[in-house]
Structure 1
């Protein structure tokens, strides 16, 4: 029921079920439709709603993540995969990555010295955006690179996850609180210059496999 069948519901009933105003409920349905997560057919009786394949994929990913957080199982979800497009950043990655306070911790906690710069990936799919937001939460501690101060300024803490880029080259995802980018961007470091190593250019699609069981221990 619901996952594969068509649901007929009025906007008033939907608003009551989610505990929101009719205007808010209508806006949320429009957003879901715009993002390709549902289809709607509106009639004088209300609307017929079906969850799309992309919507089901998102629900499954969220279910697996939440299940790995709350369910007491021996085997938890250990990896997830995100996809996006390469784009050129603002050129600030090298400056931050090469700070001594970060470099020493990258080598100790991640096991490599990064190439001076980050590979920037913009997520395009709604399920991947949701997964990235979950990774920023306390549900997954990741590997924490502690913040520090020098004579000029303060550098904030960074949460990291070990990754494989295109299922081959090692690296790490940096989740930075103080960043100019929106939450649809992945910033990746690696011991290699990834653009050369993988022959990448702006607009190319790329996959990132994230190890969710990373921790500081």
Structure 2
């Protein structure tokens, strides 16, 4: 794939997100990419022919989204970049914005089977609640791809079944040991849930909208 094709795919990612759809036009894309409208039209056709892009004409121009194959390609590039930077001594980090959750984390972390396994695997009893961070979905996928997860098994109660989850050791803002937990079944694709021994909001004086960074701990690197 040429560099021109790559930067066009990257622009679609910026406008549409990993799994969304963007309404744009060849004129706008040409202006952003500093090329002619005819060049953009040709490249869109070529990317569509290679099953990297989905497009549909609309009254306002064109609707664009990444195909599953295009998503995987960009995620692969991101992962390789992260691995190269990590090998050069630059730790892989994930940044997000603090947001208020639905208190689901507090409920699940209060369940003894989860509590017991997390305490055994992480070495500390987690506070019964999560710090929720709104993150970029692509960044989250790439971040998790760099780490070795700790597996927490699901279980069955009398009323229902509870799914498993993966825990990744991280440092919050470079100093507080914690874990990013990622349920095996989740609909929150752009939320990172972080647990620690004590309530992170209180430890760091955080409020909604504050920026927080997560860094993989050394033993968590894949």
TM-score (norm 2): 0.65
Q: Confirm whether residue 152 of structure 1 aligns to residue 159 of structure 2.
A: yes
1:48-89 deviation per Cα after TM superposition (whole angstroms, max 9, x unaligned): xxxxxxxxxx99743324769xxxxxx598942111111111
Contact kept? 1:115, 1:193, Cα under 8 Å: yes
- Partners of 2:151 and 2:90 lie apart in 1 by 18
- Partners of 1:76 and 1:98 lie apart in 2 by 40
Counterparts in 2 of 1:109-124, with a 5 A limit?
Answer: 109-123=121-135
- Partners of 1:78 and 1:145 lie apart in 2 by 29
Q: 1:203 aligned to 187, 205, 209, which one?
A: 209
RMSD over aligned Cα atoms: 3.4
Count of aligned pairs between the two proteins? 176
Q: Confirm whether residue 169 of structure 1 aligns to residue 205 of structure 2.
A: no
Q: Confirm whether residue 130 of structure 1 aligns to residue 138 of structure 2.
A: yes
TM-score (norm 1): 0.66
- Partners of 2:147 and 2:83 lie apart in 1 by 11
Contact kept? 1:142, 1:212, Cα under 8 Å: no
Q: 1:89 aligned to 92, 98, 101, which one?
A: 101
Contact kept? 1:77, 1:212, Cα under 8 Å: no
Q: 1:14 aligned to 36, 40, 44, which one?
A: 44
| Structure 1 residues without counterparts, runs of 5 or longer | 32-57, 69-74
| Structure 2 residues without counterparts, runs of 5 or longer | 8-32, 67-74
Contact kept? 2:147, 2:216, Cα under 8 Å: no
